[in-house]
């Protein structure tokens, strides 16, 4: 079995490079969370050594910790609160969705970043419900698939006037994104929210548009290029705002759209994208892949099988092209 603790460093390091860069420029940025000081010692030594007074270790209480972050933002600070695993976001829903997100309309937007990580581990660890937050007015939802985007999107989140829920997918292994880093420019400036990345083969010859994000996009990008020669790949980067113009332009060109999500299909982002596409262009053929609506298994091997593999995605794309 793979060593889960070693599966991902590059995306995490990209996020923390952005945090360090912004902390040097903006004295309002404060890091909050359970075991925050020791976590920075292990993950971001420069942050730990240079800004220890701006790292606040809090008790094991995600709901109160997030409420503290909201209060700090109202007071003029720029908090980055780490709830660790994404499952703990259930405990923070009132603070995020019913308080922080509403400042956009009742007062003025406050910059708050909520970090959460996707893991594997069983019924109550490893759930992926990022689409729930995409439905909440006042929230931006970010799910990078690679270190370059992780850094650029975090730079934006830390200067964005609003609340950002920033997901880090710890299941994306370093090996699957190392080639991406080698062939992509360093993200030394912010990446706008709502601007998807088109990782394409030939624009004119593409026969199908494949839209994905996070884990499933990383798996696709790491697949052998020969299998993707007829595909135009689109990485959403942000689930809200959603880059529908880029999706529509590609889908209208190819006439086929396959949406792949590393989450439960039912009520997911794939359903929203396809609904918008067929409403505007009914002639485009669409399909979506994702996990069944089921409780997560504890065994890692079974958990990983819930989400479409690159081979399954390419097989589905081939069937759509052949019809």
Transcribe 187-198 into DSSP letters: --SPPPTT--EE
How confident is residue 231, by pLDDT bands cut at 50, 70 and 90?
confident
Residue 59's pLDDT band (boundaries 50, 70, 90)?
A: very high
Strand extents, DSSP E, 4-158: 29-34, 55-58, 78-85, 112-118, 139-142
Confidence (pLDDT) at 124:
86
- Rg of the chain over all Cα atoms, to the nearest angstrom: 19
Question: 200 near 162, Cβ under 8 Å?
Answer: no
Q: Which of 43-57, 72-86, 247-261, 300-314 has the lowest mean pLDDT?
A: 300-314
What is the DSSP code (8-state) at residue 254? Answer: H
Confidence band, pLDDT 50/70/90 cuts, at residue 4: very low
**Mean pLDDT, to the nearest integer, of 298-321?**
87
Confidence of residue 2 (pLDDT cuts 50, 70, 90): very low
In CATH, which superfamily holds the domain spanning 4-177?
Answer: Thiamin diphosphate (ThDP)-binding fold, Pyr/PP domains (3.40.50.970)
Here the tokens at position 176 are: 């699957």
- For 194-322, give the CATH class: alpha beta
Mean pLDDT of 108-114: 90
* pLDDT at residue 247 greater than cutoff 90: yes
**Residue 204: predicted pLDDT:** 54
Q: What integer pLDDT is reported at residue 101 of this predicted model? A: 92
Residue intervals in the chain for CATH 3.40.50.920: 194-322
pLDDT single digits (tens) 123-182: 888 899 999 999 999 999 999 999 999 999 999 999 999 999 999 998 888 877 766 665
Rounded percentage of the chain residues whose pLDDT exceeds 90: 71
Query: First-to-last CA distance in the chain?
Result: 39
**CA angle 18–22–24, rounded 5-degree value:** 120
pLDDT at position 225 over 50: yes
Q: Is the pLDDT of residue 20 over 50?
A: yes
Mean pLDDT of 287-301: 88
What pLDDT is stored for residue 123 in this prediction? Answer: 86
At residue 148, the 3 state secondary structure works out as helix
Q: For residues 72-94, give the mean pLDDT.
A: 95
**Mean pLDDT within 230-254:** 95
Top pLDDT among 203 and 252 is at: 252
Closest CA to 258 of 212, 203, 195: 212
- Overall average pLDDT of the 62-87 stretch: 94
For the record, the structure tokens of 177 come out as: 């994104």
- At 230, the pLDDT band (50, 70, 90 cuts) reads confident
As a whole number of angstroms, the distance between CA 208 and CA 258 comes to 7
Query: CA 255 to CA 248: how far, in whole Å?
Result: 10
Name the β-bridge partners of 85.
117
Model-wide pTM > 0.85? yes
Mean pLDDT of 71-83: 95
Q: Supply the mean pLDDT for the chain.
A: 89
Please answer whether residues 259 and 270 qualify as being in contact, where contact means their C-beta atoms are separated by less than 8 angstroms: yes
Mean pLDDT of 260-264: 95
CATH code 3.40.50.970 region(s) in the chain: 4-177
pLDDT, position 50 = 96
- For position 3, what pLDDT does the model report? 44
Let me know: does 138 contact 102? Beta carbons within 8 Å. Answer: yes
Q: Give the residue-averaged pLDDT of 209-224.
A: 91
Q: Give residue 205's pLDDT band: very low, low, confident or very high (50, 70, 90).
A: low
């Amino acid at each position: 079995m793979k060593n889960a603790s070693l599966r991902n460093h590059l995306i995490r390091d990209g996020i923390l490079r952005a945090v360090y860069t912004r902390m040097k420029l903006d004295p309002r940025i404060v890091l909050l969370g359970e075991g925050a000081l020791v976590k920075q010692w292990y993950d971001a030594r420069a942050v730990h050594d240079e800004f220890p007074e701006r790292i606040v270790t809090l008790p094991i209480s995600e709901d109160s910790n997030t409420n503290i972050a909201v209060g700090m933002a109202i007071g003029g600070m720029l908090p980055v609160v780490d709830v660790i695993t994404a499952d703990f976001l259930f405990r923070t829903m009132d603070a995020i969705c019913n308080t922080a997100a509403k400042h956009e309309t009742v007062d003025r937007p406050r910059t708050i970043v909520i970090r959460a990580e996707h893991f594997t581990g069983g019924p109550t660890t490893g759930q992926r419900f990022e689409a729930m937050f995409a439905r909440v007015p006042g929230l931006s939802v970010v799910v990078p698939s690679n270190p370059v985007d992780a850094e650029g999107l975090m730079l934006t989140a830390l200067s964005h006037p609003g609340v950002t829920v920033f997901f880090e997918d710890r299941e994306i292994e370093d090996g699957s994104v190392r080639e991406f880093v080698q062939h992509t420019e360093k993200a030394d400036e912010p990446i706008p929210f709502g601007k998807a990345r088109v990782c394409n083969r030939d624009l004119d010859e593409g026969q199908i548009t494949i839209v994905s994000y996070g884990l499933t996009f990383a798996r696709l990008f790491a697949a052998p290029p020969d299998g993707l020669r007829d595909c135009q790949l689109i990485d959403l980067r942000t689930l809200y705002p959603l880059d529908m113009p880029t999706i529509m332009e590609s889908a209208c060109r190819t006439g086929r759209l396959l949406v792949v999500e590393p989450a439960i299909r039912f009520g997911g982002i794939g359903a929203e994208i396809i609904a918008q596409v067929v409403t505007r262009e009914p002639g485009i053929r669409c399909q979506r892949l994702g996990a069944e609506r089921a409780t997560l298994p504890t065994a890692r091997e079974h958990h990983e099988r819930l989400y479409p593999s690159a081979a399954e995605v390419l097989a589905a794309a081939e069937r759509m092209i052949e019809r």
